[in-house]
Amino acid sequence: MALRTLDSLGSLAGKRVIVRADFNVPLKEGVITDDGRIRAALPTLNHLINQGARVIACSHLGRPDGAPDAKYSLAPVAQRLSELLGTPVAFARDTVGDSARDAVAALEDGDVAVIENLRFNPGETAKDVGERRAFAEQLAALGDALVSDGFGVVHRKQASVYELAELLPSAAGFLIEKEVDVLDRLTENPERPYAVVLGGSKVSDKLGVIEHLLPRADKILVGGGMMFTFLAAQGHKVGKSLLEADQIDTVKGYISAAAEKGVELILPVDAVMASGFAADADHVVAAADALEDTPFGADGMGLDIGPETAKIFADAIRGSKTVFWNGPMGVFEMPAFAAGTKAIAQALTEVDGLSVVGGGDSAAAVRQLGFEDDRFGHISTGGGASLEFLEGKKLPGLEILGWEA
């Protein structure tokens, strides 16, 4: 079965349409530091507004413990959404209480309201199906249809993602439609050569992706903290760098499997070693087989890929027709250890084909390093959801919309 899209809902003029978006944006002292996920929802919201729907946008933000918590309020999101849409956006101070009901009742055709953080209600993430369903029924009473557009949560069986889609006529919004289309292209008949670039701290976070994409990719590039487990599997000493010793045998298996399948596994040839985990730490470049031969000895800590590796990776990326990147190459938040991640981002903007930035830290990195979204083929809004999709897992929030992996 194919994913149900907006067309399947027919005319929504005058209808109350709940949009389950993903407004889980980073906040610092109540100020949004990256509004990428809000902007990602605009095509769907504008489409509904232009149709004359009465839009009720909802989302989670952070991990409040099933109760109201001012620091996780969606009030700043409603304000930013109003600015981006160029129209007033009402804000309800609760999820399904008097404020939400009043805000919805006051909507006219083409109006938008945002209700408070869904996770302020324990029913949203409850393990008990009955609790989730009870909350979903309260949400369903606010609307006539559901447009599911929060890709970052489709791998979760939560009330607003799953049970609500059972209770109301439901369809995927433009964002989910695009995410599924792009990620499907990464697993089914990608244009070749196909390079997968993996970074981030842990190999264990990427096991499923490596396993699923190894037979499909032409090149796999490994950087970030996880590279040290690969280097250790090759017999190199890595000092105090991130190392998952319990994954060394698994990684050796991947190295062998890549060789058997003719997949080019490209590992770092150098790294930036530092005296400690600090922005102002002393640091030097060391060859991959000599990471402890620095002034820091066995106390050195690898915090970025080295310049030679960055060049090799960039060349491999530019020479590919399809590239998927998930996970930074180093501690990009610290300027001294951001060069590797920046080199990868730059190379992705030069791909003659499809370049996809996995969500989470990778998306945050490209924006923090000054790259505009439109320089990439696609920036995914879902870190965990993207990875699970690429692992071939069934995602409940997509299955309930008719998608079959």
Distance CA 228, CA 234 (A): 10
CATH code for 6-174? 3.40.50.1260
With 70 as the cut, is the pLDDT of residue 1 above it? no
Superfamily of domain 182-391: Phosphoglycerate kinase, N-terminal domain (3.40.50.1260)
Distance CA 239, CA 299 (A): 5
Cα dihedral 285/205/163/403 (nearest 10): 90
The response to whether 63 counts as a known ligand-binding position is yes
The DSSP secondary-structure symbol of 4 reads: P
Cis bond before residue 268 (omega within 30° of 0): no
Q: Residue-wise over 71-101: b if at least 16 C-beta within 10 A, else e?
A: ebbbebbbebbbebbeeebbbbbbbbeebbb
The response to whether 22 counts as a known ligand-binding position is yes
The response to whether 119 counts as a known ligand-binding position is yes
Give the burial class of 307: count Cβ atoms within 10 A of its Cβ; 0-12 exposed, 13-18 middle, 19 or more buried: middle
- Domain positions in the chain are 6-174, 182-391
**C-beta atoms surrounding 133 within 10 Å:** 19
Q: Which residues pair with 91 in a beta bridge?
A: 114
The response to whether 362 counts as a known ligand-binding position is yes
* Angle (CA) 36 39 41, round 5°: 115
**C-beta atoms surrounding 259 within 10 Å:** 11
**37 is a catalytic site residue:** yes
Report, as an integer, the average pLDDT of 248-255: 95
Model confidence at 171, in pLDDT bands (50, 70, 90)?
A: very high
Distance CA 204, CA 192 (A): 27
Pairing type for strands 194-198 and 322-326 reads: parallel
Confirm if 203 and 229 have CB atoms less than 8 A apart: yes
Q: What is the pLDDT of residue 259?
A: 95
Three-state secondary structure call for residue 54: strand
Distance CA 291, CA 382 (A): 34
Pairing type for strands 322-326 and 301-305 reads: unpaired
Model confidence at 397, in pLDDT bands (50, 70, 90)?
A: very high
**384 is a catalytic site residue:** yes
Quick one: how far is CA 179 from the chain centroid?
10
The response to whether 397 counts as a known ligand-binding position is no
Identify the CA nearest to 384 among candidates 347, 351, 358, 354: 358
The response to whether 94 counts as a known ligand-binding position is no
With 80 as the cut, is the pLDDT of residue 67 above it? yes
What is the residue type of 336? A
Q: How many helices (H) and strands (E) does the chain have?
A: 15, 17
Distance CA 65, CA 255 (A): 42
With 70 as the cut, is the pLDDT of residue 37 above it? yes
Q: What is the pLDDT of residue 4?
A: 97
The response to whether 225 counts as a known ligand-binding position is no
**Cα→Cα distances 128→137, 139, 157, 396, Å:** 15, 17, 11, 16
Residue from 101, 202, 216, 321 carrying the catalytic annotation? 202
Q: What is the pLDDT of residue 240?
A: 97
Q: Mind listing the pLDDT tens digit for each residue in 92-132?
A: 999 999 999 999 999 999 999 999 999 999 999 999 999 99
The response to whether 360 counts as a known ligand-binding position is yes
Distance CA 189, CA 324 (A): 14
* Percentage of the chain modeled with pLDDT above 70: 100
Report, as an integer, the average pLDDT of 200-227: 91
Residue from 37, 80, 132, 240 carrying the catalytic annotation? 37
The response to whether 321 counts as a known ligand-binding position is no
**360 is a catalytic site residue:** yes
* Percentage of the chain modeled with pLDDT above 90: 87
The DSSP secondary-structure symbol of 377 reads: S
Q: What is the pLDDT of residue 360?
A: 76
Confirm if 360 and 329 have CB atoms less than 8 A apart: no
- Domains 6-174 and 182-391 agree in fold: yes
Model confidence at 381, in pLDDT bands (50, 70, 90)?
A: confident
Report, as an integer, the average pLDDT of 145-171: 97
Q: What is the pLDDT of residue 383?
A: 78
The response to whether 37 counts as a known ligand-binding position is yes
Distance CA 354, CA 377 (A): 5
Residue from 360, 377, 383, 397 carrying the catalytic annotation? 360
State the chain's mean pLDDT as an integer: 95
368 against 79, higher pLDDT: 79
**C-beta atoms surrounding 264 within 10 Å:** 14
Confirm if 312 and 266 have CB atoms less than 8 A apart: yes
Report, as an integer, the average pLDDT of 175-190: 92
Residue from 208, 384, 393, 402 carrying the catalytic annotation? 384
Distance CA 319, CA 313 (A): 10
Q: Mind listing the pLDDT tens digit for each residue in 302-360?
A: 999 999 999 999 999 999 999 999 999 999 999 999 999 999 999 999 999 999 998 77
The response to whether 61 counts as a known ligand-binding position is yes
Report, as an integer, the average pLDDT of 245-263: 95
